Amino acid sequence: MAKALVAWIGNTDLRASQGEADAGVGPIAQALEKRSYDEAYLLSNYDPKVAAHYQAWLRDRSSSKIFIQRVALDRPTDFRKIHEAAVGLLEDLRKKGPLPELTFHLSPGTPAMASIWILLSKTRYPAELIESSKKEGISTVSVPFDISAEYLPTMFRAPDERLSALALGLSPEAPEFDSIIHRSPQMKRVVALARRIAMRSVPVLIEGESGTGKELLARAIHHASPRATGPFVAVNCGAISKDLFESEFFGHEKGAFTGASVARAGHFEHANGGTLFLDEIGELPLSDQVKMLRALQEGEVLRVGASKAKKVDIRVISATNRDLLSVVAENGFREDLYYRLAVAVISIPPVREREGDLTLLIDRILEQVNRESAGEPGFSDKTLSAGAKNLMLRHPWPGNVRELLNVIRRSSIWSSGATIREADMIDALRSVPNSAKGATVSMIPPIAEGIDLQEVVQQIKRHYLQGALLQSEGNKTKAAKLVGLPNYQTFTNWMKQCGLE
């Protein structure tokens, strides 16, 4: 098996390559000279030119293959980034094949870097630990606390998801993430991104159609963050009157205007120490966007009628169902405010694009509706018939999860028995406003990356055939007339061609 030395490049290594006598040959070169390694994988936080000079110098002194990976650290004690960089390097090695026999060098770099090597060597990546000095040379490090599997608690013997999450730079689990029902790859990525960004206080913009669960995700991010004990203040920007913007967001003093009988804190003050969730941020008028930008830039608010500003410490999470960049291009949203809010952007896909999630959502939401209705007179738990569930699986859900919840609630009301039948579901779906229009538009994908035109046409056919059948309550003759087909036989043939019969 190949042997590999892994280390951070330290200042002493660079000084050695520049010929400074008191540096000797440096810890890394000393290890390569005294012990046999096939490869050396080095992480560097230094200027690429400096690292390249060191690499050339080291290659002249050693027959080992030398690889250097650049890592940008804000500070040499940034444990999260150091951990992320080390795990990233080791995972890249794993992808190439079986991991070589690893040795982690503790001497180069900072104490934070050394502590991460110790953690990794005793958990996910078994490795020898070495250190070096000019007097003692190279020696193996015997860590005084051996946390090998033999001594670990039972909960750590199995693959540990929490440790894996930390290795990926994710936040610890929060109960709120459990309420985001999913199993599709698209939503797994969304949740992973949300967990990764939760630990940072940077602003987040959540994009997605109405009903996709943007506020649910925002709450999960808040509760998985260091601000979890602080308040979570949700504000619908589209519901605030232009005349009341400053009072609502920044507060007012007593007597500041007619009707201001008492002093009142605004949303910014209420969210101090926590998270301010700005829903439908795209609906904010341009004149109010300027005021919002200033408050975010300065980190302070001035109440209406006050003479002294108040400092606030908040994290802002925004949400929109619009393409804000397009709105910016049309001068409908300030570019500077967009980039202030969109440091991290998470896009939630619509239900129709979450392959494998719909059945799971239907089952979980039906359980929820049964729980909510359990105490109502004459109610019994509902189940779905095969026909009703098939109707749901064929529906495009332009209203996403919110529409799905409302349809299941309606169908449970329409159903007189314990089973929600196909007819009950037809009645529930018929109550969905403008579903045909919304779904059809959403079925048309952008052509930028290429499309399957025949499949798009089939989707539109399926949608209208299904809609006509729902509208006509299963009468194919009436359904045929609704879509301009000559008779029910032709309608049936089209249904078969589209896989609906």
491 contacts: CB under 8 Å, gap ≥ 6: 465, 468, 476, 477, 479, 480, 483, 485
Distance CA 440, CA 39 (A): 57
The architecture that CATH gives domain 444-501 is Orthogonal Bundle (1.10)
CATH of 3-140, one of 1.50.10.20, 3.40.50.300, 3.40.50.10770, 1.20.120.330: 3.40.50.10770
| CATH topology for the 364-433 domain | Helicase, Ruva Protein; domain 3 (1.10.8)
HSE (side-chain half, CA atoms, 13 Å) at 455: 5
Helix (H) / strand (E) containing 102: strand 101-105
CATH classification code of 175-347 = 3.40.50.300
Predicted structure pTM score: 0.56
354 contacts 189 by C-beta, under 8 angstroms: no
HSE (side-chain half, CA atoms, 13 Å) at 439: 23
Helix (H) / strand (E) containing 245: helix 245-250
Nearest by Cα to 341 from 288, 275, 281: 281
Q: Write the DSSP symbol of residue 195.
A: H
235 contacts 279 by C-beta, under 8 angstroms: yes
The residue to which tokens 């590999």 are assigned: 4
Nearest by Cα to 277 from 239, 333, 310, 318: 318
Same fold, 175-347 and 444-501: no
Encode the chain (501 residues) as per-residue pLDDT tens digits: 789 999 999 989 999 999 888 778 899 999 999 999 999 999 999 999 999 999 999 999 999 999 999 998 887 778 888 999 999 999 888 888 888 999 999 999 888 898 889 888 876 788 899 998 877 789 888 765 444 333 333 333 333 344 444 444 454 555 668 889 998 999 999 998 998 899 888 999 999 999 999 999 999 999 988 898 899 999 999 898 888 899 999 999 998 888 888 999 999 999 999 999 999 999 999 999 999 999 999 999 999 999 999 999 999 999 999 999 999 999 999 999 999 999 999 999 999 888 889 999 999 999 999 999 988 888 889 999 988 888 888 888 989 999 999 999 999 998 988 999 988 898 888 765 544 434 444 445 555 556 667 777 877 888 788 878 777 767 888 888 888 898 888 888 888 888 776
Q: What letter represents residue 23's amino acid?
A: A
Distance, first Cα to last Cα, the chain? 60
3-state SS, residue 361: helix
Q: What letter represents residue 451's amino acid?
A: I
CB atoms inside a 10 Å sphere around CB 208: 19
Domain range summary for the chain, segments of one domain joined by + = 3-140, 175-347, 364-433, 444-501
Q: What letter represents residue 104's amino acid?
A: F
3-state SS, residue 1: coil
